[in-house]
Structure 1
């Protein structure tokens, strides 16, 4: 996960294994979440370009053939949002990333659903033709869709420092993983979305951004270029 030497992780879950690919924003959401919560797990790097995620062993773990995959003893989770909330609920004592009160938890869940249901499909629509279909640019309709998502995010942030309210949560982390990747494909306009850009800047200064997101984001940027 990026600069290992910069980490100061207090909890090692040796019974947990994470299969990941650093260029994937979903994997980076989990990596940032783990680092933010000061938790480490055993990691296995998977080269998706060489179809390593389609080996019989990994298909047995996840028939959807996607990453990340987390295995905690007999439990297998294959969704980044589920992985982060599970780790937070079971192993993180600090409730700021995933509040235990129903209202706070609902806000985080709402943000995670927005990321999974709106932002991540935009990422796939923009990136997959370039990554896998020899397309050289983002199509106009995809640009329009992403720009509208930026408008929604700008509006959601008005009057609050974080998407979750007064402090950062797993919702902010999930959105940052996807938006920082979308920004490579459809740059966030500083004049149209100053609040969103300010939030992105503050997120980029968090230590977990360097350890969990930056390396994979740079790899993705090189691959797109």
Structure 2
């Protein structure tokens, strides 16, 4: 029996889990949660995840965990053939964890605030403050990549998957300037070319169409 992933395809955190599962060769049973119909607030879903967020993973043994920054390390730790995506070496893992926390606390947090204003509050254009906020994220990432091939070192990790899912969405709002941020632009292309990243592209297309339809 395959693990079940409760999801919304355009969601960056969901897309990061899809990429991770693909890289690990895990076949997930995908269950879409319709937020517009309030399915995330139904008692049966709240019993699984009282925070009523996506993604939520229900493993084949009944174990439940939500938040992509918890799901992806769990998947690699349980199903990975090796620890390359989430190293056991404490120092290497600490760098991956830092990037994951940066994603959840800064990169994704800033992007979702703007996206929420667009989708729920009718915002039709980005302010200078919005652009500055996301540009600063790119500045941080450019620094993270200094002397590194990938976000946490010289090999791809789940830090790349999580940040790619977030930044590919932010890129729709404020395109990454390849002149100012050549390392980030090159990194985006590298992750985009990975075979496992293919599973996120349909969701990104939906996200792009949805957001651009709201912006003038």
TM-score tier by shorter-chain length is: over 0.9
1:59 lines up with 2:35 in the alignment: no
Shift of 1:216: 0.4
- Structure 2 CA distance for aligned equivalents of residues 135 and 50 of structure 1: 22
Equivalent in the alignment of 2:104: 116
User: 1:159 is matched with which residue?
Assistant: 147
Tell me if 1:40 matches 2:27: yes
Residue 140 of structure 1 and its aligned partner are, at CA, apart by 2.2
Does the alignment pair 1:70 with 2:53?
no
Q: Specify the SS of the correspondent of 1:171.
A: helix
TM-score normalised to structure 1 length: 0.90
Q: How does 1:1-225 map to 2 (within 5 A)?
A: 14-72=1-59, 73-211=61-199, 213-225=200-212
Q: Quick one: distance in 1 between partners of 2:135 and 2:93?
A: 28
Is the CA contact 2:2–2:27 (under 8 Å) kept in the aligned structure 1?
no
RMSD: 1.2
After TM superposition, give the deviation of residue 143 of structure 1 in Å.
Answer: 1.3
Is the 1:163–1:172 Cα contact (8 Å) retained in structure 2? yes
In the TM superposition, residue 106 of structure 1 has moved relative to its aligned partner by: 1.2
Output the CA distance in 2 between the equivalents of 1:67 and 1:120: 14
SS of structure 2 residue aligned to 1:119: helix
Name which of structure 1's ranges 101-110 and 193-202 shifts more when overlaid on structure 2: 101-110
Instruction: Give the secondary-structure state (helix, strand or coil) at the position aligned to 2:28.
Output: strand
Q: Give the TM-score normalised by the residue count of structure 2.
A: 0.94
Q: Distance in 2 between matches of 1:54 and 1:186?
A: 32
> How many residues are aligned here?
211
Q: Deviation of residue 161 (structure 1)?
A: 0.8
CA contact (8 A) 1:15 1:41 kept: yes
Judge which range, 103-112 or 193-202, deviates more.
103-112
Residue 58 of structure 1 and its aligned partner are, at CA, apart by: 0.8
- Higher strand residue share: 1
Q: Which residue of 2 aligns with 1:4?
A: none
